[in-house]
Amino acid sequence: MDDFIQPLSEDFSDIFFIKGKNNARYPYSNSLLVGDHLIDTGISPNHLRKLKRTFPIKHVFLSHWHEDHISGNYLLKNVKFYCHSNDKLPIENVEKMIPLYNVRNTPIEDELKSLIKLLRMHNIKIDTTVEDNDIFDIGDQLKLKVLFTPGHTAGHCAFYELNSKIAFLGDIDLTRHPYYGNLDASLIEFEESIAKIKSLDLNIVVTGHRGIIEGKNQINEEIESYKSILQERDDRILAFFSERSRPIKLKEFKNNNIIYRKYSSFKDFEVIAELLMVEKHLEKFLSRGLISKKEDGYILS
Ligand SMILES: [Zn+2]
């Protein structure tokens, strides 16, 4: 078997971790194969072609609309596609991603369009929308449960196999870079979704951009350290307020390395996404009464 295909359990031999190209770094991502059900299609075209030759794939669940998770859809014919209704539109019409990233009429709009072309992304039709707690029986042994976990996108879902206690967490990705930088994201929901994942009884998790994490303690530690990154971002934004005792406008946070401590070669995109993410923190602070609106900015309460 190709080395990017890895069985996850001796007792449940139909569950495989499918590692994305380049260690699942953007624009690739990992998948989970559960029987003839594949979750996400961003492993890379070559990997996907090889996978199809080894396993019959009949059903494809998409965790969310981001390009790095759905780019291989065009290679899967005669399958049924599933996603949450909130993410259906940009999956069925990939150009609709562009306004969601808030990049219309910026240089990034063209870059994103080129990427969509480069990845050869096609529109596909979603056959069935899924909802929280839907359970799909796969073979005699496996029950795959949908966990609606919005925040990263409005329709983001994780998937939990009830008997093996193996879960695919999508882009609650347990990396050092939690992301909620599109218009349909919500930090409040993202944190609720992390809490929902943490409450599960889990033996193994895989995520869109991290490999296999095994054992309850290890999984718990990883979730805690993921949450601490969000806490550090909260702290930096609150410090930004306390260092200036006057109303702060959202745009003042721009280009200040609040979320990205170092910008990469994708700086133009990161600066846009960062401001959106700061806005999600402000939305959370407002809802908790930590800050209030004053003049045309915000001030600590
Ligand atoms: Zn994503």
Q: Calculate how far, in angstroms, residue 50's C-alpha sits from the geometric centre of ligand 1.
A: 24
Q: Calculate how far, in angstroms, residue 107's C-alpha sits from the geometric centre of ligand 1.
A: 21
The 3-class secondary structure across 137-190, one letter per residue, is EECCCEEEEEEECCCCCCCCEEEEECCCCEEECCCCCCCCCCCCCCCCCCHHHH
Residue 2 is predicted with a pLDDT of: 84
Residue 190 is predicted with a pLDDT of: 98
Q: Calculate how far, in angstroms, residue 94's C-alpha sits from the geometric centre of ligand 1.
A: 14
Q: Calculate how far, in angstroms, residue 190's C-alpha sits from the geometric centre of ligand 1.
A: 12
Cα–Cα dist 235/258, whole Å = 10
Q: Calculate how far, in angstroms, residue 225's C-alpha sits from the geometric centre of ligand 1.
A: 19
Q: Calculate how far, in angstroms, residue 10's C-alpha sits from the geometric centre of ligand 1.
A: 30
Q: Calculate how far, in angstroms, residue 276's C-alpha sits from the geometric centre of ligand 1.
A: 15
Judge contact between 190 and 173, C-beta under 8 A.
no
Q: Calculate how far, in angstroms, residue 133's C-alpha sits from the geometric centre of ligand 1.
A: 21
Residue 266 is predicted with a pLDDT of: 87
Encoding tokens for residue 34? Answer: 């559960």
Cα–Cα dist 237/233, whole Å = 6
DSSP string, 232-283: HHHHHHHHHHHTS-S-B-GGGGTTS-SS-SS--TTHHHHHHHHHHHHHHHHH
Q: Calculate how far, in angstroms, residue 32's C-alpha sits from the geometric centre of ligand 1.
A: 15
Q: Calculate how far, in angstroms, residue 11's C-alpha sits from the geometric centre of ligand 1.
A: 31
Q: Calculate how far, in angstroms, residue 182's C-alpha sits from the geometric centre of ligand 1.
A: 10
Residue 30 is predicted with a pLDDT of: 98
State the chain's mean pLDDT as an integer: 96
Judge contact between 14 and 29, C-beta under 8 A.
no
3-class DSSP state of 95: helix
Residue 57 burial (CB count, 10 A): 19
Judge contact between 174 and 222, C-beta under 8 A.
yes
Q: Calculate how far, in angstroms, residue 245's C-alpha sits from the geometric centre of ligand 1.
A: 36
Identify the segments of the chain with pLDDT beneath 50: none
Residue 301 is predicted with a pLDDT of: 93
Q: Calculate how far, in angstroms, residue 26's C-alpha sits from the geometric centre of ligand 1.
A: 9
pLDDT digits (tens, 9 = 90+) for 85-94: 999 999 999 9
Helix then strand count (H, E) for the chain reads 9, 15
This prediction's pTM:
0.96
Q: Calculate how far, in angstroms, residue 170's C-alpha sits from the geometric centre of ligand 1.
A: 7
Residue 249 is predicted with a pLDDT of: 97
Q: Calculate how far, in angstroms, residue 150's C-alpha sits from the geometric centre of ligand 1.
A: 11
Q: Calculate how far, in angstroms, residue 63's C-alpha sits from the geometric centre of ligand 1.
A: 8
| Cα–Cα nearest to 86, from 168, 160, 183 | 183
Residue 239 is predicted with a pLDDT of: 96
Q: Calculate how far, in angstroms, residue 194's C-alpha sits from the geometric centre of ligand 1.
A: 15
